[in-house]
Amino acid sequence: MSAGADSGEGPVNDKTGGNKTGGGTLAQMDQQDPLAAKIEAFDIPRDQVYLDGNSLGCLSLAAKQRAREVVEQQWGQDLIKSWNLHQWIDLPVRAGEKIARLIGAAPGQTICCDSISVNLFKLLSAALAMRADRRVVLSPRGNFPTDLYMVQGLARQLGDERCSLRLVADEDITSALADDVAVVLLSHVNFRSGALYDMHEITAKAQAKGILVIWDLAHSAGVVPVQLDACSVDFAVGCGYKYLNGGPGAPAFLYVAERHQTLARQPLSGWMGHMAPFEFENEYQPAPGVAGFLSGTPPVISLSILDAALDVFADVDVAQLRRKSLALAGVFMQGVEQSPPLRELRLCSPVDEAQRGAQLAYRHPQAFAICQALIAHGVIADFRAPDILRVGFSPLFLRFTDIGRSVDVLCRIMQEQLWRDPVYNVRHKVT
């Protein structure tokens, strides 16, 4: 289970519950936490504090059990019968509807399939075709690179006269809504800084000028309240392996507003997106609704694991998740502010909690080495080039005492300059 207050290199105060915040001791905050019991649903190494759920979520016991069941029983014993017997064929819709509740989407608009990159290609193609008299895809310079890469790839395929990427400063999005913009492509939460965009305002201003909007929910689904229908969003994508805890490389999801489903046509006309795939007709006829955005055969094992992982959210309100994630971040932020050895760390996330997601980002010239030292001392965070230390606050499996321990470990690393050890400066393929 999760790293205990009395394990690893945690502080003395963690053992007694003596770390204090405005809300009492951290131990008291854990006792009062309505989500405290959720940690029992996860399989977390005792000697670690895991602050990287914004990159890869933790393994839930339900997901572990489903993986065994799918491999050993459904595939191992029932074989191809499982497409019907265990409803493999319905997994994209079933998992999609579980996610829909977390992102404020009515039924019939969300489906699980492929990766964010592939789903973006589908939605960008559909949106540009719906705005054939325009050619510009507008996006902030700070957007996640793969989102920009997909626009660049589509521009190479279609030509600049049909697709052209225009990058602007993050704060200039609404002022750049020109008449030649077909699509605005935005990440709801910035992957580096954690800054949170105003979905309702930007969507409304873009649509007032005839512009379609695609939102990337990779860093908000499952931890930040999202209201796609209430904000009249056109399209959205998101991944299953961060705050949704679906496992490495878990399938992504996409959302197509019901009002667009008749006109929006995706370019990857694979057999699972056909209205009758097992009729094996030569002529492609898209399935009605969001199912028309399916393409190839669903990855049954990984999709089954994601489907099981989503069950941990069944009795949880997203507002609860939001409150706890902000409270966890507040404890960390306060700890950094009050610790003299940590004054070299420069916060680059919004101070106002209403303007950020569920992570904090700190700049330091040696952020990579500091991150590696943290990992070696039982606190798992991550690094983003060129100089950012990111810490994520997944409310389902983190405790307030975990946060106190992580701040104390970080203090020791900075005070004793442990990050100077050459071993912490060796870069691997994945940073």
Chain segment 146-157, per-residue pLDDT in tens: 999 999 999 999
Residues 304 and 390 in one domain: no
Residue 32 phi/psi, 5-degree rounding, is -90, -5
Residues 308 and 333 in one domain: no
Q: How would residue 23 be classed by pLDDT, with cut points 50, 70 and 90?
A: low
Q: 73 lies in a domain?
A: no
Q: 72 lies in a domain?
A: no
Q: 117 lies in a domain?
A: yes
Residues 214 and 326 in one domain: no
Q: Which residue out of 241, 243, 313, 383 is catalytically annotated? A: 241
Q: Which residues neighbour 143 within 8 Å (Cβ) at sequence distance 6 or greater?
A: 185, 186, 187, 190, 216
Residues 107 and 150 in one domain: yes
Residues 290 and 152 in one domain: yes
Say yes or no to pLDDT of 3 above 90: no
Residue whose token pair is 């502010």:
337
Q: Which residue out of 50, 144, 191, 253 is catalytically annotated? A: 144
Q: Which residue out of 98, 134, 242, 324 is catalytically annotated? A: 242
Q: How would residue 263 be classed by pLDDT, with cut points 50, 70 and 90?
A: very high
DSSP β-ladder status, 388-392 and 359-363: antiparallel
Q: 305 lies in a domain?
A: yes
Q: Which residue out of 390, 402, 405, 424 is catalytically annotated? A: 390
Chain segment 159-175, per-residue pLDDT in tens: 999 999 999 999 999 99
Q: 116 lies in a domain?
A: yes
| Torsion over CA: 13, 56, 245, 236 (sign) | positive
Residues 308 and 323 in one domain: no
Residue 1: predicted pLDDT: 30
Chain segment 385-418, per-residue pLDDT in tens: 999 999 999 999 999 999 999 999 999 999 999 9
Say yes or no to pLDDT of 24 above 70: no
Residues 272 and 329 in one domain: no
Say yes or no to pLDDT of 22 above 60: no
Beta bridge partners of 140: 168
- Tell which of 263, 298, 313 closes a domain: 313
Q: What's the whole-number mean pLDDT along residues 289-311?
A: 98
Residues 46 and 93 in one domain: no
Residues 101 and 231 in one domain: yes
Q: 366 lies in a domain?
A: yes
CATH number of domain containing 347: 3.90.1150.10
Residues 327 and 301 in one domain: no
Q: Which residue out of 33, 216, 234, 402 is catalytically annotated? A: 216
> Among the listed ranges 19-33, 88-102, 132-146, 392-406, which one has the minimum average pLDDT value?
19-33
Residues of the chain with pLDDT > 90, as a percent, come to 94
427 is catalytic: no
205 is catalytic: no
Residues 50 and 123 in one domain: no
Q: 64 lies in a domain?
A: no
pTM, 2 dp: 0.94
Residues 152 and 208 in one domain: yes
Alpha helices in 38-90 (DSSP H): 61-68, 82-85
Q: 160 lies in a domain?
A: yes
388 touches 404 (CB < 8 A)? no
User: In this structure, how many other beta carbons lie within 10 angstroms of the beta carbon of residue 69?
Assistant: 15
Say yes or no to pLDDT of 7 above 60: no
Domain count, the chain: 2
- Tell which of 252, 284, 313 closes a domain: 313
- Expressed as residue numbers, the domain containing 182 is 87-313
Q: How would residue 46 be classed by pLDDT, with cut points 50, 70 and 90?
A: confident
* Nearest-angstrom CA–CA distance, 27 and 74: 43
255 is catalytic: no
Q: What's the whole-number mean pLDDT along residues 279-305?
A: 97
394 touches 57 (CB < 8 A)? yes
Token reading at 179: 């008449």
CATH number of domain containing 114: 3.40.640.10
- Tell which of 313, 339, 370 closes a domain: 313
242 is catalytic: yes
66 is catalytic: no
SS3 content of the chain, % helix, strand, coil (to 5): 45, 15, 40
